[in-house]
Structure 1
């Protein structure tokens, strides 16, 4: 286009609604929800805890002599015998290294270990998943890791001398799921912005803003560079900064766009949850056949886990075909150069460095409402997931429920989950509640479940002749019978299904644009598969007391501790703060850029002075591509952007991965790669120009 070899072109998704592409992307995203959620429902929340407990039991011995095998002694009576037939339950323990642990605790400790590793993984790959060229590959790699690990359960019998490999398979499967979901969630804001109604609303907002700018006599260039609003917020269409100079019509259109974007995000998120629950029900029904035919044998449990891995892998294929990737924007030698210079270790290092920046106190203060929600989410997601796993282990070890009965519990939870995901939005519309209020109500409702379990300690719910260890019960109430477990499963499903959809959509409103994967990495540390504190504490309680019912007191406290944090979130302010967010500092990067870059790139390969990269520049929900040589100053990119948008580049600020770019920066010195995104904001001028 000019002597500097710069060009700018409008993205296909920038101005015109592309129905075929939007539907293809949405189908790809939903197909991965359909694929991966079966592993969550069938394995993580149902068969995997039971399977791991059974592995430990098949290799464990009974207290107090530690010589009688648990399976040989028949420590667990059949469900048909009834709970009142149990006079005394002998604890089954297994030796791991030099430590004896309860067979039920083994599952919880494996779970907590997998979550710790998952947290390290999702943080490390957050920056990688932010890059359009790597997001899809990241999702597919971890989906393959998780699904294959689940399938390997079928090859490992509990009688094997290397039965502890079951823990490794479980850990890898959980890490694979959690990391792939980070990449999956990073697509969510993009999918909402591609929706037809959202695109139309954005175009109406743009037209109104353009008309207002044309009438503003404080323009810089006379063709759309108005700065009279003196806005510091990024003009991404959904800005909540009403602007002192904005007309009532523009403000109304902006509020409509923001509201529509929020509700569309919630709708897509809820659709994924509902579809996942449906897939989980189908998976459980399929798994029910071998489990019932073999009376819940260890082989049947392994088969169920492996089958969920096969399902996961099979239905990931449509996601591979339909989700957007690099879209062919890098070809030939440019791709070769990019691949040569891209370094996994450098990206991981940058991710942890960026996390350190995000968690600085001054940055937390800038996004205090986002971090308040993250604090509440950590407690709630950890608590909700721990309630699920604890209830299943409680049903197996204390209520002596059969494997088929536990599958029925899973079916009831997931069926009710679909109902909850569909009914609660209607309740919300009828009562005109905010997302925040719905979440608070759901949290309070969920806390009833562990509180109800605590009632089992009251004498009114026990036989007066029961032993002091509270292992025998006679009356209904306090979660002392198997029938109560089925009723609570329906109640919990209606709450939990809605909670997941609302929480994910609510969080999407509070995170900075352009860094979705990085922020969803924090979110995913405790999302579904990632409960860490809860299982660990429950395992310790079970080991210390020999009665897992005591853990219900901890779960009540954990859920209620999140309520004050959730109530304190100011949604409107949080949304505005996320849109204005810009990491300050990191001056060393700008003062001595070449030293840092040379250290990292070290090279066996000499920098190519003719290397070009293509940058994706986003402004007001419009996207252009700018090709520039990697050693050229960013001022050339700034000028090309101004020309493309009919703006004076001096009125704009340019942000890459949360760091403001300077004119003297170059793509090489700031570590840019082909396909990196730059967000454009309207500069804070402090008033109109004279």
Structure 2
């Protein structure tokens, strides 16, 4: 072990490692909501509740006539756009406080409380489900900004990819384990449960999981003194907007970070659209039943665990940028192969799921750690707020392209292949990022495999 000046052992690496292990648990905690509720159970359950309240297949949402089948999409879109406006000033506030772990836990527990309201969403009471979805999604987004901003505080530049990848892998494992139990409950319906009741139990379990496992990072993470806080006057809100204004004016000094954000906008939108569209493609185009789709969802979750770890190791040898580019090439192969997947061929569909799982966690985990190298110290939360705001504020591009291509062609095959455009554009822009220049502009150390 290295020694600090004066002959005292330097215990900082051990302290960092303890914090890193604690930090992994928040990915484990929040992924339960993402997988069980947001990805699998929420939409079909909320649509069924809305249909009970519908008159002539319409419900009234703030005076607008809405088809029950569209309700989940509208709610997610509304919360997504709202979060895109809220996150940047929130990020500025988080950069001014040392109590990040308290804010992380506060957002997580508030989000879990909103998610638990889904237990009371039954009969024709879709309104409480709408409140639950909007509140939980906003709190999740806020918590992710804080969580990602902690990453540069608990890991040096050389270990950033490894730490981010392990956290992401941990999240897929935790979310997959709870999802497996919940899908078994929903499909087998033991103890005489009805399907709606089983779904409510599963969604409540995800809320409890989110809240309970957040206790670990809350207890074990340390608070870190803010760095480079802007000296601006006023109350906490005025100071946060003042700091945000300074950061916006200074962003032009970090062109590589901005270039990466644009690249991320494209390739992440492609990733999210493939994930969101895969079940539709599998059922409507390829004719696979519910059991095959459920099995594939679980397969993707657990393969993504190993994929994130694999990409973390590759990044330690090839660098994060090169590994992300390799992942984007694989995504291009995946959507091209999907164009030719035969209907009702279960083994090939499972292979498709394995391929998605391998690159899913890896590309997202490395995007997080790579971006953290390009942002200045003390501005982590602000820059990650832009990172998540761009993700959320533009996440409709891919689904729009997918929907339009299907509308004009009448087939999901060209629709899913059209998403290759997002990977091509994202990869092309990413090649223009000069990693070493970006790291130096941000004032960070250049790792050996940048």
Which category of TM-score, normalised to the shorter sequence, fits these structures?
0.7 to 0.9
Matched residue SS, 2:155: helix
**1:111-260 counterparts in 2 under 5 A?**
111-157=76-122, 159-160=123-124, 162-193=125-156
Unaligned runs of at least 5 residues, structure 2: 226-232, 446-450
How far residue 53 of structure 1 moved from its aligned partner, in angstroms, is 4.5
CA contact (8 A) 1:33 1:272 kept: yes
Name the structure 2 match of 1:349: 241
How far residue 351 of structure 1 moved from its aligned partner, in angstroms, is 5.0
Take 2:167 and 2:34, find their aligned partners in 1: how far apart are those partners?
13
Matched residue SS, 1:579: coil
1:377 to 264, 287, 294: 264
Take 2:381 and 2:34, find their aligned partners in 1: how far apart are those partners?
21
Name the structure 1 match of 2:33: 39
**1:605-644 counterparts in 2 under 5 A?**
none
TM-score (norm 2): 0.83
Q: Does 1:520 align with 2:405?
A: no
Q: Does 1:411 align with 2:405?
A: no
Give RMSD over aligned pairs. 3.5
Take 1:111 and 1:550, find their aligned partners in 2: how far apart are those partners?
26
Take 1:433 and 1:326, find their aligned partners in 2: how far apart are those partners?
31
CA contact (8 A) 2:115 2:207 kept: yes
Structure (1/2) with the larger helix percentage: 2
CA contact (8 A) 2:161 2:320 kept: no
Matched residue SS, 2:242: helix
Unaligned runs of at least 5 residues, structure 1: 1-9, 62-66, 70-92, 194-260, 328-340, 456-476, 581-619, 621-690
Q: Does 1:386 align with 2:273?
A: yes
CA contact (8 A) 2:312 2:366 kept: no
TM-score (norm 1): 0.56
Number of equivalent positions: 429
Q: Which deviates the most, 441-450 or 294-303?
A: 294-303
Take 2:83 and 2:97, find their aligned partners in 1: how far apart are those partners?
22
Structure (1/2) with the larger strand percentage: 1
2:186 to 278, 291, 310: 291
CA contact (8 A) 2:244 2:382 kept: no
Q: Which deviates the most, 477-486 or 438-447?
A: 477-486
Regions of 4+ moved over 6 Å = 540-547
Q: Does 1:108 align with 2:73?
A: yes
Name the structure 2 match of 1:272: 167
Q: Which deviates the most, 485-494 or 564-573?
A: 485-494
Q: Which deviates the most, 341-350 or 122-131?
A: 341-350
Q: Does 1:557 align with 2:418?
A: no
CA separation of 1:94/1:388 partners in 2, compared to 1, >3 Å: closer, same or farther? farther
CA separation of 1:391/1:299 partners in 2, compared to 1, >3 Å: closer, same or farther? farther
Q: Does 1:491 align with 2:345?
A: no
Name the structure 1 match of 2:176: 281
How far residue 21 of structure 1 moved from its aligned partner, in angstroms, is 3.5
CA contact (8 A) 1:379 1:561 kept: yes
CA separation of 1:32/1:170 partners in 2, compared to 1, >3 Å: closer, same or farther? same
CA contact (8 A) 1:115 1:529 kept: yes
**1:78-93 counterparts in 2 under 5 A?**
none
CA contact (8 A) 1:385 1:528 kept: no
Take 2:427 and 2:13, find their aligned partners in 1: how far apart are those partners?
41
Name the structure 2 match of 1:30: 24
